[in-house]
């Protein structure tokens, strides 16, 4: 397997050509049909389902920008038909001619976006004159996505180097606990973040030692480490923090810092550039991981170790050292994700505060095909899905949708992704396989 | 430590392990009874340290550690002693309640241990059975929920005569779990989707589906304010073994029966042999004419059914009403039970009893000494961690023996 195949987002032209031709007709047509189905869902179910003549209204301003974006008003039903038709056309083209792999990815992206927009239009038509504070929805989505993005990056760093990280949840929980504790004791949030990084890194180190030195099965290990983290943080919370909340569990919270100039750009400004330090750190990490993984020596080595450790060893890469480093770094990043839950959002720690977010992050890694951009996109999508739960409970939709179904979405989507209904996802070749020299 | 770990375990490994044994070796690494006992000891020692940390007196004493170091130790050991003594009282025998002379005074703690152990044994068997066929069933949580929902629904919505109602409800719960587990098996067989990923995702799908059901009229109990289901008919409840004052119920027999079934299946039946062959080496099994894909489906159906039974004992044995936390962490604890039980029927029963005792004791400990019950989770995780890494335990206790972990290496996502 050539290296370029693992990174189809940036292949050389020739390789891309070969790869795209290799897509089997069955898969090509399957993906096309899936797109057509999504398009028909948009047009027929959501389009006909929304009340005729109603307009969908979206607010996209909060007042602090250079100029105010006017409220966007579109006819709900017509927009649904148009968006649905676009997706159907994309699907037909895919089924008959086939986009390349890269093209298909864009087509899927457009289909998801079209579906979300149609869904939003449909949801406003339940009662007259409803409008959605779109900026608020996006801000909340981003807020909910940040821990998922960080967790996904953590998982990615481990798995790209060949160590399965099912323990993201535990690392997050430990980081959340440490962030709250240290931030509260020292009354300095930056040291709190540092504490979260260190404790998350320690959890990563545990994973690394047992997986790499003692060759424990990594899935079992991840599950056990999650139980350990849940038990330990719960125990220490009850035993230490709870009786003495004032000194041990009441850290301050990071406040939003508006970036001058940038934060006043309409829509984008308040959304992206009026955030906490942890969010800015997340932006930096996304770029750093993406660049590092594909453009630096570190990344090349990490990927080599994850795909074919023996070959990497043969050319002189210290496989175990690369894995240790990546897993510990990954743990630290997951710890940061945890810190975002406590000192980045609500302050104090409470039992099981991560409540399954580590597993959604794992889902994002898989759904995003073990690539940083894909994982971030998946995390954003999943964050948006959780925000939809809140939105749907605050507006009247034509048909009541229980928020539980929205909550299921990330998991169902991931099952579809691994089942290969829209292109099979493939893990790094040596992911989960311990390396023993000799 | 480094030396023992890096030495390949070839020289003094036991001769030619059997098929199933080899699979477990891949999952757990090689270890023996001594390592198991020592892992327990090591975990209890760490647990003891945590008890001492949680004890306010010990913490006060440690603040003047350098003036009177002895105080810290005496207070610490007193706390540890009290904690573990309370655990013993909660799990095995409590002289205070026994002094009342009633039956529940004598047998109450044992009843609690058995009650807690019942779903753990069933869950452990579920995970263990899947291990033997080379699959990880991380989906115990979802399967337990599915089992509890099916059994609970039959329990409160249908009205059948005595005895028949219980039987029908138990079967319904088993089917519910089997469907949920079988789904993961089907996905693996048909599309190659890794069962770890699908079972984890199905857990959360089940959790949200349960949340939805608990908000629906007909399922939710009136007056519809709380997320709790209708009560199961008394006819459908598993009967209590020691009278109504103690919680231990006929679910225990279900668990023991399931253990016997698993033992028979794996050691005496053709199907079990095929499943073990798939677990030992799927390629060899395929070459020998065994339908590997069908094996995946069958084993996940069976594993799901066993986990579903765990859900049955939760709803029909103890709770009587379905709540959002009907799973009570058993889905994940079952994995630790299966690992401690080395995926064999008999040892899994013992492991379930041990963890059931820890759970029962942990609750007593919390009420007696205020030490948080979460300690049990920590001890459980540590026991499994130490057992899974025999090299570490040998290094801690300076034992000789094969170092390292499993020499046969685990499979990854693509395996």
Which sign does the torsion angle of CA A31, A36, A37, A38 carry? positive
Helices (H), A41-75: 48-49
Mean pLDDT of B280-302: 92
Query: Looking at CA atoms only, how far is residue B317 from chain A in angstroms?
Result: 25
Flag whether pLDDT at A256 surpasses 50.
yes
Mean pLDDT of B410-415: 56
List, in order, residues 6 or more apart from A184 with CB less than 8 Å away: A192, A247, A248, A249, A250, A251, A348
Inform me whether the C-beta atom of residue B404 falls under 8 Å from chain A C-beta atoms: yes
Flag whether pLDDT at B182 surpasses 90.
yes
Is the peptide bond prior to B223 cis by the omega test (within 30 degrees of 0)? yes
Q: Give residue B31's pLDDT.
A: 54
Q: Tens of pLDDT along A314-363?
A: 999 999 999 999 999 999 999 999 999 999 888 889 988 988 899 889 98
- Chain A residues whose CB is inside 8 A of the B219 CB are none
Chains A, B: CB contacts under 8 A, how many? 197
Asked if A249 contacts A182 with a C-beta cutoff of 8 angstroms, the reply is no
Flag whether pLDDT at B262 surpasses 90.
yes
Asked if A353 contacts A179 with a C-beta cutoff of 8 angstroms, the reply is no
Inform me whether the C-beta atom of residue A427 falls under 8 Å from chain B C-beta atoms: yes
Local confidence band at A8 (pLDDT 50, 70, 90 cut-offs): very low
Query: Looking at CA atoms only, how far is residue A236 from chain B in angstroms?
Result: 8
Residue-range domain boundaries for chain A: 3-129, 136-371
A427 to B414: CB separation less than 8 angstroms, yes or no: yes
Which sign does the torsion angle of CA B212, B215, B216, B219 carry? positive
Q: Give residue B255's pLDDT.
A: 96
Local confidence band at A23 (pLDDT 50, 70, 90 cut-offs): low
Here the tokens at position B125 are 């068997």
Nearest residue on chain A to B2, judged by CA atoms? Answer: A213
- Chain B residues whose CB is inside 8 A of the A237 CB are 372
- Chain B residues whose CB is inside 8 A of the A217 CB are 26-28, 388, 406, 410
- Chain B residues whose CB is inside 8 A of the A164 CB are 412-413
Flag whether pLDDT at B89 surpasses 50.
yes
Local confidence band at B357 (pLDDT 50, 70, 90 cut-offs): very high
Distance CA B90, CA B112 (A): 8
Q: Give residue B412's pLDDT.
A: 60
> Regarding predicted confidence, which is higher, A169 or B33?
A169
Q: Give residue B400's pLDDT.
A: 63
Query: Looking at CA atoms only, how far is residue B162 from chain A in angstroms?
Result: 36
Mean pLDDT (chain A, rounded): 85
Flag whether pLDDT at A205 surpasses 80.
yes
B29 to A405: CB separation less than 8 angstroms, yes or no: no
> With a CB-CB cutoff of 8 Å, which residues 243-272 of chain A face chain B?
243
Flag whether pLDDT at B12 surpasses 60.
no
B197 to A418: CB separation less than 8 angstroms, yes or no: yes
A213 to B380: CB separation less than 8 angstroms, yes or no: no
- Chain B residues whose CB is inside 8 A of the A216 CB are 29, 385, 388-389, 405
Mean pLDDT of A412-430: 75
Lowest mean pLDDT among A133-147, B213-227, B317-331, B387-401: B387-401
- Chain B residues whose CB is inside 8 A of the A429 CB are 412, 414
Nearest to B208 by CA among B157, B305, B152, B142: B142
Q: Tens of pLDDT along A74-96?
A: 888 888 899 999 999 999 988 88
Q: Give residue A247's pLDDT.
A: 84
Mean pLDDT of B46-60: 89
Mean pLDDT (chain B, rounded): 85
Lowest mean pLDDT among A62-76, A267-281, B270-284: A62-76
């Amino acid at each position: 397997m050539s290296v370029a195949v693992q990174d189809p987002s940036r292949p050389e032209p020739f390789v891309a050509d070969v790869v795209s031709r290799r897509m089997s007709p069955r898969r090509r047509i399957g993906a096309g049909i899936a797109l057509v189905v999504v398009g028909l869902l948009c047009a027929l179910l959501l389009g006909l389902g929304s009340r005729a003549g109603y307009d969908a209204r979206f607010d996209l301003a909060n007042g602090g920008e250079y100029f105010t974006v006017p409220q966007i008003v579109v006819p709900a039903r017509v927009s649904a038909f148009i968006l649905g038709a676009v997706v159907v056309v994309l699907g037909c083209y895919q089924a008959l001619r086939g986009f390349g792999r890269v093209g298909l990815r864009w087509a899927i992206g457009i289909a998801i976006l079209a579906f979300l927009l149609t869904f939003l239009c449909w949801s406003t038509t339940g009662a007259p004159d409803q409008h959605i504070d779109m900026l608020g929805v996006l801000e909340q989505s981003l807020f909910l996505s940040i821990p998922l993005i960080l967790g996904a990056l953590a998982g990615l760093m481990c798995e790209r180097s060949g160590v399965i990280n099912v323990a993201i949840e535990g690392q997050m929980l430990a980081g959340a606990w440490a962030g709250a504790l240290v931030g509260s004791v020292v009354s300095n949030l930056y040291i709190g973040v540092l504490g979260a990084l260190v404790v998350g890194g320690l959890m990563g180190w545990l994973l690394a030692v047992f997986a790499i030195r003692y060759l424990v099965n990594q899935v079992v290990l991840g599950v056990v480490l999650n139980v350990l983290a849940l038990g330990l943080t719960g125990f220490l919370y009850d035993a230490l923090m709870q009786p003495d909340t004032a000194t041990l569990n009441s850290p301050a919270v990071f406040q939003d810092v508006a970036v001058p100039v940038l934060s006043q750009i309409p829509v984008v400004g308040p959304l992206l550039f009026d955030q906490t330090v942890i969010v800015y750190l997340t932006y930096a990490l996304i770029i750093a991981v993406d660049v590092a993984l594909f453009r630096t020596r570190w990344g090349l080595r990490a990927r080599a170790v994850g795909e074919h450790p023996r070959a990497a060893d043969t050319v002189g890469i210290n496989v175990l050292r690369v894995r240790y480093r990546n897993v510990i770094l990954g743990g630290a990043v997951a710890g940061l994700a945890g810190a975002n839950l406590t000192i980045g959002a609500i302050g104090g720690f409470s039992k099981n505060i991560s409540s399954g977010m580590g597993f959604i992050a794992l889902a994002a890694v898989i759904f995003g095909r073990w690539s940083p951009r894909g994982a971030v996109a998946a995390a954003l999508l999943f964050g948006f899905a959780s925000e939809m739960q809140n939105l749907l409970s605050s507006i009247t939709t034509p048909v009541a949708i229980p928020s539980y179904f929205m909550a299921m979405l990330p998991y169902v989507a991931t099952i579809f992704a691994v089942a290969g209904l829209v292109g099979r996802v493939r893990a790094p070749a040596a992911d989960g396989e311990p390396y023993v020299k000799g | 430590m480094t030396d023992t770990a890096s030495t390949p375990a070839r020289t003094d490994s036991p001769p030619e392990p059997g098929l199933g044994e080899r699979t477990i070796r891949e999952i757990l690494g090689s270890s023996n009874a001594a390592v198991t006992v020592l892992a327990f000891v090591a975990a209890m020692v760490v647990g003891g340290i945590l008890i001492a940390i949680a004890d306010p007196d010990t913490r006060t004493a440690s603040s003047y550690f350098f003036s009177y170091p002895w105080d810290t130790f005496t207070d610490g050991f007193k706390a540890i002693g009290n904690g573990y003594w309370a655990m013993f009282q909660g799990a095995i025998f409590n002289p205070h309640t026994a002094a009342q002379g009633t039956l529940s005074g004598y047998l109450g703690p044992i009843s609690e241990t058995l009650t807690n152990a019942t779903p753990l044994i069933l869950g452990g068997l579920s995970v263990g059975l899947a291990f033997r066929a080379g699959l990880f069933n991380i989906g115990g949580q979802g399967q337990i929920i599915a089992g509890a929902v099916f059994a609970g629904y039959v329990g409160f919505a249908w009205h059948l005569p005595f005895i028949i109602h219980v039987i029908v409800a138990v079967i319904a719960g088993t089917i519910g779990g089997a469907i949920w587990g079988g789904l993961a098996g089907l996905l693996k067989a048909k599309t190659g989707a890794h069962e770890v990923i699908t079972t984890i995702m199905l857990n959360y799908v089940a959790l949200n589906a349960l949340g939805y059901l608990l908000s629906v009229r007909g399922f939710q109990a009136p007056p519809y304010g709380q997320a709790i289901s209708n009560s199961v008919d008394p006819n459908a409840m598993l009967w209590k073994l020691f009278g109504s004052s103690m919680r231990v119920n006929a679910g225990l027999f279900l668990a023991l029966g399931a253990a016997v079934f698993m033992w028979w299946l794996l050691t005496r039946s053709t199907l079990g042999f095929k499943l073990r062959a798939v677990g030992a080496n799927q390629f060899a099994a395929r070459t020998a004419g065994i339908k590997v894909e069908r094996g995946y489906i069958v084993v996940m159906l069976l594993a799901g059914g066993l986990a579903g039974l765990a859900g049955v004992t939760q709803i029909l044995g103890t709770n009587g009403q379905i709540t959002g936390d009907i799973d009570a962490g058993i889905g994940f604890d079952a994995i630790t039970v299966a690992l401690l039980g080395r995926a064999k029927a008999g040892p899994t029963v013992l492991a379930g009893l041990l963890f059931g005792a820890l759970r029962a004791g942990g609750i007593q400990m919390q009420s007696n000494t205020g030490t948080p019950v979460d300690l049990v989770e920590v001890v459980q995780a540590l026991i499994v961690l130490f057992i899974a890494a025999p090299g570490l335990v040998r290094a801690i206790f300076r034992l000789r023996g094969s170092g390292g972990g499993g020499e046969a290496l685990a499979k990854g996502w693509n395996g």
